[in-house]
Amino acid sequence: MNTNEVEKLIEKYLDGLTTPDEERRLSAAVGRRDAPRHWQTVAVMLGEMARAEAVYEQRVAERRLLRRRRYVGWAVAASLAVVSLAGLLYNSSRSHQSQADVAIAYVDGREITDHSQVLALAEDAVCDIFDTASEEDGALSGVFEIDE
């Protein structure tokens, strides 16, 4: 928030017209170390609890942003894996033009050549990546008591 926005919010707070969300944002702004001296009175009025809530809300928002970035990373990695697999399958079939389209997967030492089964296995592998990532995030959320 810029200085003018904070000043308007202070006036609104002093008139008793702010919402709880506005009070949290105001508390975060007036509680900064570099805040002007005349804002300190408002900071005292808002109290330590409101400032602590504002800091907590900011940390939770930062964690959510990091979690989203992590999901994007997993999604990019999974997409690259699928595209690479499709490219390999395509190039393999193109290099053996005399043969029909061939897709091969090895599962537990067993060769699978059915094209639809191979693609289903690749899709399952990608889904497992996302399931593992969300299980890990859920475990961390429980440890740190983060509400989503």
* Torsional sign, CA 138, 136, 124, 91: positive
Which pLDDT value is given to residue 135? 57
The pTM of this model reads 0.34
Which pLDDT value is given to residue 136? 55
Instruction: Judge whether residue 100 has pLDDT over 70.
Output: no
Please report, rounded to a whole number, the percentage of residues in the chain having pLDDT higher than 90: 1
Q: 120-125, long-range: CB within 8 Å, 24+ apart, which pairs?
A: 122/82, 122/85, 123/82, 125/81
Task: Kindly indicate the confidence band of residue 62, based on its pLDDT and cuts at 50, 70 and 90.
Answer: confident
Number of H helices, E strands in the chain: 4, 2
Task: Kindly indicate the confidence band of residue 8, based on its pLDDT and cuts at 50, 70 and 90.
Answer: very high
Instruction: Judge whether residue 112 has pLDDT over 60.
Output: yes
Which pLDDT value is given to residue 145? 55
Instruction: Judge whether residue 99 has pLDDT over 60.
Output: no
Q: What is the tens place of the pLDDT at every residue in 23-51?
A: 888 888 887 778 888 887 788 777 766 66
Instruction: Judge whether residue 79 has pLDDT over 60.
Output: yes
In contact, 14 and 41? CB cutoff 8 Å: no
Buried b / exposed e across 92-115, counting CB within 10 Å, b at 16+?
eeeeeeeeeeebebeeeeeeeeee
